[in-house]
């Protein structure tokens, strides 16, 4: 009977050690996942703002009457998009805190974009008034 108790004790100690390791690793994996998710969201928003500003500059240099259509991916954490003056600003909600991603264009911009997650078909048109109008198709 003594040997059975020793085997049972070894198994119980093994389960205790595995439990402690899991108790430490699970929060670390959760924290890592959240940080990676935030990094991807910020990167996607930055890429979207950069693509819109770059395309706006291209249309601006081509002159009045020109337009271009692009596909832009918006991440899920975008609260709103503000397009005015020479700025494109994405307001993000990450961990209940606000963050802003912005790009500056060489042209005067106007327009509006919705904030739903996914691919947006964005039309950038140079108006006769000298403004670039940024809208969705």
Contacts of 85 (CB under 8 A, 6+ apart): 108, 109
Q: How far apart are CA 32 and CA 15, in angstroms?
A: 25
Query: What residue ranges do the domains of the chain occupy?
Result: 2-136
Paired with 125 in beta bridges are 67, 133
Q: How far apart are CA 78 and CA 133, in angstroms?
A: 21
Q: Which of these, 24, 45, 35, lies nearest to 95 by C-alpha position? A: 35
Query: pTM for the full model?
Result: 0.81
pLDDT of residue 2: 52
E strand segments, the chain: 67-74, 78-94, 97-111, 118-126, 132-136
Q: Which of these, 92, 94, 95, lies nearest to 78 by C-alpha position? A: 92
In order along its 137 residues, the chain shows pLDDT tens digits of 455 555 678 888 899 999 999 999 999 999 898 889 889 999 999 999 999 999 999 999 999 999 999 999 999 889 999 999 999 999 999 877 889 999 999 999 999 999 999 999 999 999 999 999 999 98
Contacts of 127 (CB under 8 A, 6+ apart): 64, 133
Phi, psi of 36 (to 5 degrees): -65, -40
Q: Residue with structure tokens 């601006």? A: 60
Asked whether the beta carbons of 105 and 134 are under 8 A apart, the reply is no
pLDDT of residue 3: 54
pLDDT of residue 21: 94
pLDDT of residue 51: 97
pLDDT of residue 121: 96
């Amino acid at each position: 009977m003594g040997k059975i108790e020793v085997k049972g004790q070894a198994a119980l100690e093994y389960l205790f050690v595995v439990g402690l390791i899991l108790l430490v690793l699970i929060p670390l994996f959760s924290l890592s996942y959240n940080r990676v998710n935030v990094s991807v969201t910020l990167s996607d928003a930055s890429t979207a703002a950069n693509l819109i500003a770059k395309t706006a500059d291209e249309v601006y240099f081509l002159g009045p009457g020109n337009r271009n259509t692009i596909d832009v991916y918006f991440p899920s954490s975008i609260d709103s998009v503000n397009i005015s003056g020479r700025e494109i600003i994405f307001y993000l909600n990450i961990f209940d805190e606000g963050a802003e991603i912005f790009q500056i264009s060489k042209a005067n911009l106007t327009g509006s974009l919705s904030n739903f997650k996914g691919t947006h078909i964005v039309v950038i048109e140079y108006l006769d008034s000298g403004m670039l109008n940024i809208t969705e198709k």
